[in-house]
Structure 1
């Protein structure tokens, strides 16, 4: 099993989850985070840390459409091990539905 970052993270990218991960399996895109499913140890410590409730176990049907996205981008985006600054408008985007089309394929840039 693995945990999966889902649509709720898009344009929020709070990153609270990153610092609690014991195996550093988060990868950062321009406006989204992903979990590498081959590195995740299924400990679950990240799930309650997410203010947007965007992290789900892969056994949850809502995670299924995001499994491939997490696997794909974790291969090309940079690894992130520390919480950064979320977007200024993250709170505005936190509970908005239907954000999938807004996912940027671009990697995080410092």
Structure 2
């Protein structure tokens, strides 16, 4: 059991670090106002930037980490066994929705 926990925590930790690194990379490579070329007053030309790909990678890695934690802990949709008392269930549901 402890080996599974270590593997899940390591995987989710890696995804979190990947998300942070790609998020900072996306912010660093985004297009600034000075990069926009205005050759014609009615038309702008934007250069290519890897920011979109990096941002999507950050978002997808966070989503995979969230799904992994929810499945591993048996939270809400992946629950094994009966539900706890009504007050605990309401708190768990609120935390689940807020975490997404």
Structure possessing the higher radius of gyration over alpha carbons? 2
TM above 0.5: no
Higher RCO (CA-CA < 8 Å; seq separation 6+) = 1
TM-score, length-normalised on structure 1? 0.17
Name the one with the larger helix percent: 2
